[in-house]
């Protein structure tokens, strides 16, 4: 059986794509990009969908076929996103059925899905078949507000909140607020990922955790990602 990890948040810019990219590498998972905007995992991987008239993802959905993920040296396999996803998105049911079918045909233990921020039918389709929903949350007021809304709206989903971009001294009030947000729900808080400005200026296309020896400034982030992948495996496998 394939386990499906969906990176999702209500607010943008919280670290979904960065985490999806690392988890796909660490879990040896095909990475399915449901982002229509640029700047996500597809571009990071080195693929420019705007230069292609056809979308591997949309063609597969329309023809009821299983897409062949792109392969790259030291990179997770990728089903790239495409701008046309915005104009002609699949329905909730089509997306859910497709991910289950693709997982079975790829014979992969894991699939990682990256999403556009917020709710849309195809995002809901992915969420409906997720074995774990990874929700990054910087410890900041706006991001905590959005996470509070998400927990309120989907407490019955397998949500794991990942405090992301956490400063060396984590803000105590925000940690307490996060604890209150999940109180009385099955939602979990996973390992935190520290902040490092080098993440934002990095140009390499391989995952940080794919590097045998990441730059010193990135090592704490790599350690956080490795801890998160381990957490996800334990969470899903019971
Ligand atoms: N641990 C980190 N420390 C510092 N910067 C980070 C960290 N993780 C991600 N970033 C940076 O934060 C920005 C947003 O990250 P990312 O694109 O992964 O978020 P996103 O949730 O996918 O955004 P969007 O909602 O636009 O898809 C990027 O510039 C990224 O490099
Ligand atoms: Mg993104």
Any ligand 1 atom below 6 A from CB of 201:
no
Report CA(165)–ligand 1 centroid distance (Å): 9
The alpha carbon of 56 and the centre of ligand 2 are apart by a number of angstroms equal to 19
- Give the CA angle between residues 7, 12, 13 to the nearest 5°: 90
DSSP states of 174-210 as a string? Answer: HHHHHHHHHTTSS-EE----B--HHHHH---SS-GGG
The interaxial angle of helices 92-106 and 121-128, nearest 10 deg, is 40
Distance 93 CA to ligand 1 centre (A): 29
Residue 15, ligand 1, Cβ within 6 A:
yes
Please enumerate in sequence order all residues whose Cβ is within 8 A of that of 26, keeping only pairs 6 or more positions apart, or say none.
Answer: 207, 209, 225, 226, 229
Question: Measured from the CB, is residue 167 less than 6 Å from ligand 1?
Answer: no
Residue found under tokens 């990009």: 33
| Contacts for 198 with CB less than 8 Å, ≥ 6 apart | 215, 217, 218
- Ligand 1 contact via 118 beta carbon (within 6 Å): no
Q: Residue 86: enclosing H or E segment and its boundaries? A: helix 84-87
- Length of the chain measured in residues: 238
Dihedral angle, C-alpha 77, 51, 41, 103, nearest 10 °:
-40
CB-ligand 1 contact for 7 (6 Å cutoff): no
Query: Of 110, 120, 114, 121, which Cα lies nearest the Cα of 135?
Result: 114
Residue 101 · residue 110 · CB < 8 Å: no
Position of tokens 């927990």? Answer: 151
Which of 10, 11, 12, 18 has most ligand 1 atoms within 8 Å of its beta carbon, as the pocket-test mutant?
18
Predicted local distance difference test score (pLDDT) of residue 233? 98
Q: What is the atom index within ligand 1 of the atom nearest the CA of 136? A: 21
* Domains, the chain: 3-236 (3.40.50.300)
Cα–Cα distance, 189 to 66 (Å, whole number)? 34
E strand intervals along 10-154: 31-34, 70-72, 75-79, 110-115, 132-138
| pTM summary value | 0.98
Give the mutation target among 7, 10, 12, 15 for probing the ligand 1 site: most ligand atoms within 8 A of CB.
Answer: 15
**Distance in angstroms (rounded) separating the CA atoms of residues 69 and 76:** 9
- C-beta 13 within 6 A of ligand 1: yes
Distance CA 217, CA 61 (A): 41
Q: Ligand 1: which atom is nearest the Cα of residue 200?
A: 31
45 phi/psi in degrees, rounded to 5? -65, -25
10-residue mean pLDDT profile of the chain (238 residues): values are: 97 98 98 94 95 93 97 98 94 98 96 96 98 98 98 97 98 98 98 98 97 97 98 96
């Amino acid at each position: 059986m394939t386990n499906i990890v969906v990176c999702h948040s209500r607010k943008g810019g919280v670290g979904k794509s960065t985490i999806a990219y690392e988890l796909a590498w660490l879990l040896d998972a095909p990475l399915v990009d449901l982002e229509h905007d640029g700047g996500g995992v597809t571009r990071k991987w080195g693929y420019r969908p705007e230069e292609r008239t056809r979308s591997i993802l949309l063609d597969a959905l329309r023809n009821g076929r299983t897409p062949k993920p792109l392969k790259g040296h030291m990179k997770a396999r990728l089903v790239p996103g495409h701008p046309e996803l915005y104009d002609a998105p699949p329905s909730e049911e089509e997306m859910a059925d497709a991910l289950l079918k693709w997982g079975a045909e790829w014979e992969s233990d894991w699939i990682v899905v990256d999403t556009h921020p917020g709710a849309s039918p195809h995002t809901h389709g992915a969420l409906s078949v997720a074995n774990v929903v990874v929700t990054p949350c910087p410890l900041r007021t706006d991001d905590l507000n959005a996470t509070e809304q998400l927990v309120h709206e989907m407490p019955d989903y397998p949500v794991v909140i990942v405090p992301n971009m956490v400063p060396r001294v984590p803000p105590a009030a925000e940690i307490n607020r996060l604890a209150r947000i999940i109180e009385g729900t099955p939602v979990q808080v996973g390992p935190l990922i520290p902040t490092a400005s080098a993440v934002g200026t990095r140009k390499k296309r391989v995952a940080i955790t794919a590097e045998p020896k990441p730059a010193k400034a990135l090592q704490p982030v790599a350690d956080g990602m490795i801890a998160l992948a381990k957490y996800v495996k334990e969470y899903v496998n019971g």
